[in-house]
A and B are shown apart, each in its own frame.
Chain A
Amino acid sequence: MEGTIVKAINYNAYFGDNHVVKDVNIEIPKNNVIAVMGPSGCGKTTFLRGINRMHELIPGATAKGQILLNNEDVMEMHPIFVRLKIGMVFQRPNPFPNLSIYDNVIAGYKLNGIKLPKAEKDRIVEHSLTRVALWNEVKDSLTKKGSFLSGGQQQRLCIARAVAMEPEVLLFDEPTSALDPISTSTVEVLFHELKKNYTLIIVTHNMQQAARVSDKTAFFYVGELVEYDDTKKMFTDPTDIRTQNYITGRFS
């Protein structure tokens, strides 16, 4: 373990009066894959969106507490800087339909008005698409619109778009729940590759997925972080009775 990259201290999130995430304290080690699981409505997605300050975009949403990125409180930083350092991939693939595949990958630069020399752009596009194992599939159709790709390819394009910004942390909000099993396994293989360079936090409904891809697992239940441990320990010898019940499928 090279140390902690993200740390939440007494993090609370609300939608209006609705207290969705309650006093979460968690330390996320660098270059690990962290799975966040729990039943629907347990606040796992809200917590994830709190990390890069996407939560507060929803009208009426507020948050309290601290989220530290490399010991710097993201709640004190400007959201734009936070989101440049912490990339995000969503549940449904959402490439920009008005942009080509090429422009989608460098969208973070292009749409933010950052000018890059052509060679540098080419390098970023090839590098990012190679990282997500999409380069060979699309290298001859980079000028086509991103929305012509299949769902799984679109999702990998979205990951490439996040990777292109060279963030430190990548957040995934149920990244495979809209994909077929083959695309899902391609994306899962990717996680193993990506963790060499980034720290991955993945919200998932799918326990098998959590067990397959993650190093550590966090279990959320009604807004609380119930248990957080090594994935192996979590799935073989959970401490909390609620985790045990969830894993054995006694409630969902």
Chain B
Amino acid sequence: MKNKVKYRIGKSSGFQVLTTILAFACVIPLIAILIYIIRAGITKINWNFLTNVEKPVGEIGGGIAHALVGSVLVIFFASIIAIPIGILCGIFLSENRKSRLAYWSRLSVDILQGVPSIVIGIVAYIWLVKPLGYSAISGSIALAIMMLPIIIRSTEETLKMLPDTLREAGFALGMPFHRVVLKIIVPCGISGILSGVMLSVARIAGETAPLLFTAFGYQFLSLNMTKPMETLPHLIFKYAITPYKDWQDLAWGASCILLLWVLLLNIITKLITRKWKVQL
């Protein structure tokens, strides 16, 4: 009997050690990528790199300013499109759990999440670029489609977690449905909704495929959303496949910036979730 218990205690601690090791193993690839990209890229980042635009091969001092501005603009407009639609759809799904429309729209959202980004790019190309020409706004629309499922599902899941008694408390005070949703449900779930939004932005910040056919890329600084525009992931793609050493260096620098950007977004998300969490 004693030996049996000893054996089980041994097995239990062995299992604990194993889970710890495997948990650590998950962190290794991330750390390796971080170290490698930061080492290769950080030395390329300087003031000129951030403020100059593309220069011809061989000329020293080319930068990524046009891509930085382009990425910010494209993501900004993608967010303007996706956030209201996504949050409202999430509210609908959480408030009408059993309706037929909710079932089908939930299913569509799940499928949309699985659609490869390049396919979304091609669809945007056929719908928008073919009739209207390459434009930054078509890139925003393609990215907005990619943001939707993340925002919708995180909104729905967050709001579903809120107890029904909160809704009832609102209705019992004579509040109409839209006020119950906007004044009680959404404020109580705001941290979850915002973290979904931030994650979706982080997710599309590095998306290249949909931009290949839409925003297309451009070698100068442009603020015109109806014309082609350079973006960070596309610039990395463009520079990385060239045989020129100084352009490849620019690609490393840009990768480093993009990585830090996404990292920052994730950290902000964590802070928001902690700070704005409503204690139920």
Find B172's partner among A88, A145, A147, A148 (CB 8 Å cutoff). A88
Find B279's partner among A94, A107, A147 (CB 8 Å cutoff). A147
| A83–B175 alpha-carbon span in the complex (Å) | 8
Contact flag A94-B168 (CB < 8 Å), given A112-B179, A145-B279:
yes
Contact flag A54-B172 (CB < 8 Å), given A59-B98, A98-B184, A145-B279:
yes
**A2 → B minimal CB distance (Å):** 25
Q: Which residues of A contact B35 (CB under 8 A)?
A: none
B174 close to A97 (CB less than 8 A): no
> Using a CB-CB cutoff of 8 Å, which residues 2-36 of chain B contact chain A?
none
User: Residue B188 at the A interface, CB < 8 A?
Assistant: yes
User: Residue A90 at the B interface, CB < 8 A?
Assistant: yes
Q: Which residues of B contact A59 (CB under 8 A)?
A: 98
User: Residue B278 at the A interface, CB < 8 A?
Assistant: yes
Find A147's partner among B171, B183, B280 (CB 8 Å cutoff). B280
A97 close to B278 (CB less than 8 A): yes
> Using a CB-CB cutoff of 8 Å, which residues 69-108 of chain A contact chain B?
80-84, 87-88, 90, 92, 94-98, 107-108
A52 close to B172 (CB less than 8 A): yes
| A165–B169 alpha-carbon span in the complex (Å) | 13
| A2–B230 alpha-carbon span in the complex (Å) | 79
User: Residue A158 at the B interface, CB < 8 A?
Assistant: yes
Report whether over half of chain B's contact residues are helix, strand or loop; otherwise say mixed.
helix
Contact flag A108-B98 (CB < 8 Å), given A54-B168, A96-B184, A145-B279:
no
**B185 → A minimal CB distance (Å):** 10
Count chain B residues whose beta carbon lies closer than 8 angstroms to a beta carbon of A: 21
Q: Which residue of B lies closest to A81 (CB)?
A: B174
B175 close to A111 (CB less than 8 A): yes
| A161–B184 alpha-carbon span in the complex (Å) | 15
A97 close to B172 (CB less than 8 A): no
Find A96's partner among B169, B171, B176, B179 (CB 8 Å cutoff). B169
Q: Which residues of A contact B163 (CB under 8 A)?
A: 94
**B278 → A minimal CB distance (Å):** 5
User: Residue A117 at the B interface, CB < 8 A?
Assistant: no
B171 close to A57 (CB less than 8 A): yes
> Using a CB-CB cutoff of 8 Å, which residues 192-211 of chain A contact chain B?
none
B172 close to A162 (CB less than 8 A): yes
> Using a CB-CB cutoff of 8 Å, which residues 144-189 of chain B contact chain A?
163, 165-166, 168-176, 179, 183-184, 187-188
Q: Which residues of A contact B280 (CB under 8 A)?
A: 97, 147
**A170 → B minimal CB distance (Å):** 11
| A95–B175 alpha-carbon span in the complex (Å) | 15
Q: Which residues of B contact A165 (CB under 8 A)?
A: 173-174
User: Residue A113 at the B interface, CB < 8 A?
Assistant: yes
B170 close to A111 (CB less than 8 A): yes
Q: Which residues of B contact A87 (CB under 8 A)?
A: 172-173
| A148–B278 alpha-carbon span in the complex (Å) | 11
B165 close to A90 (CB less than 8 A): yes
| A52–B174 alpha-carbon span in the complex (Å) | 10
A98 close to B169 (CB less than 8 A): no
Cβ contacts B81-119/A at 8 Å (1 or 0 each): 000000000000000001000000000000000000000
| A98–B172 alpha-carbon span in the complex (Å) | 17
**A98 → B minimal CB distance (Å):** 4
Q: Which residues of B contact A113 (CB under 8 A)?
A: 179
Contact flag A92-B174 (CB < 8 Å), given A112-B179, A145-B279:
no
B188 close to A97 (CB less than 8 A): yes
A111 close to B279 (CB less than 8 A): no
| A62–B183 alpha-carbon span in the complex (Å) | 28
| A81–B175 alpha-carbon span in the complex (Å) | 10
B165 close to A112 (CB less than 8 A): no
Q: Which residues of B contact A108 (CB under 8 A)?
A: 173-175
Contact flag A112-B175 (CB < 8 Å), given A97-B279, A98-B278:
yes
Q: Which residue of B lies closest to A113 (CB)?
A: B179
> Using a CB-CB cutoff of 8 Å, which residues 236-280 of chain B contact chain A?
278-280
| A80–B171 alpha-carbon span in the complex (Å) | 8
**A115 → B minimal CB distance (Å):** 14
| A88–B170 alpha-carbon span in the complex (Å) | 10
Q: List 6 contacting pairs A-B, 8 Å CB cutoff, sorted by A.
A: A82-B174, A90-B165, A90-B172, A97-B278, A111-B184, A158-B169
Question: Which residues of B line the A interface, CB within 8 A?
Answer: 98, 163, 165-166, 168-176, 179, 183-184, 187-188, 278-280
| Minimum-distance CB pairs A-B, first 9 | A83-B174, A88-B172, A84-B174, A94-B165, A108-B173, A98-B187, A94-B169, A111-B183, A80-B174
Question: Which residues of A line the B interface, CB within 8 A?
Answer: 52, 54, 57, 59, 80-84, 87-88, 90, 92, 94-98, 107-108, 111-113, 145, 147-148, 158, 161-162, 165
Apart from A84-B173, A97-B166, A147-B280, what 15 extra A-B contacts exist at CB < 8 Å?
A54-B171, A54-B172, A57-B171, A59-B98, A82-B174, A84-B174, A88-B172, A90-B168, A92-B165, A95-B169, A96-B166, A98-B188, A111-B175, A148-B279, A165-B173
